[in-house]
């Protein structure tokens, strides 16, 4: 989920550096696997609370995506192939990252074009969509 929030006086979309594979040391949106037995949105709320201590409001579906990584966290040496439900939502509270994430980055409408070349194509694609749809 691309979370609209405020951190250190800046309002924008929160990206965090992941400390594990896949996408290790890459700025990435918050979220993860869907938890078994609950709705996708409830799972998203729980994962966001766990990963960055934010409560979500105004959850809006953006797209379905697929990502491929050579790396994987499971030890089977087959890489990672994921189907992703991409959302944008408002984050309520002050971001406090868990031990699997670091270096919170707030991407604003004003700084996005300067940051864009430094971001992963996945984040670029959905931040472009957020920008085009004026969802900041």
| CA–CA gap between residue 21 and residue 27 (Å, rounded) | 12
Tokens of 52: 């960055």
| CA–CA gap between residue 77 and residue 80 (Å, rounded) | 9
| CA–CA gap between residue 6 and residue 4 (Å, rounded) | 7
98, 51 contact by CB (below 8 A): yes
Q: Is 124 exposed, middle or buried (0-12, 13-18, 19+ CB in 10 A)?
A: middle
| pLDDT tens sequence for the chain (136 residues) | 999 999 888 899 999 999 988 888 999 999 888 999 999 999 999 999 999 999 999 999 999 999 888 877 777 777 888 899 999 999 999 999 999 999 999 999 999 999 999 999 999 999 999 999 999 9
């Amino acid at each position: 989920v691309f979370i609209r929030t405020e951190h250190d006086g800046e309002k924008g979309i929160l990206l965090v550096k992941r400390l594990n594979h896949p996408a290790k040391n890459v700025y990435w949106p918050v979220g993860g696997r869907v938890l078994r037995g609950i709705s996708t949105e409830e799972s998203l709320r729980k994962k966001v609370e766990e990963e960055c201590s934010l409560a979500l409001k105004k959850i809006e579906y953006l797209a379905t995506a697929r990502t491929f990584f050579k790396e994987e966290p499971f030890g089977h040496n087959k890489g990672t192939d994921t189907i992703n439900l991409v959302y944008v939502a408002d984050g309520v509270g002050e971001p406090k990252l868990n031990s699997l994430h670091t270096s919170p980055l707030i991407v604003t409408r004003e700084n996005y074009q300067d940051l864009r070349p430094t971001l992963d194509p996945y984040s670029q694609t959905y931040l472009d969509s957020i920008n085009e749809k004026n969802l900041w």
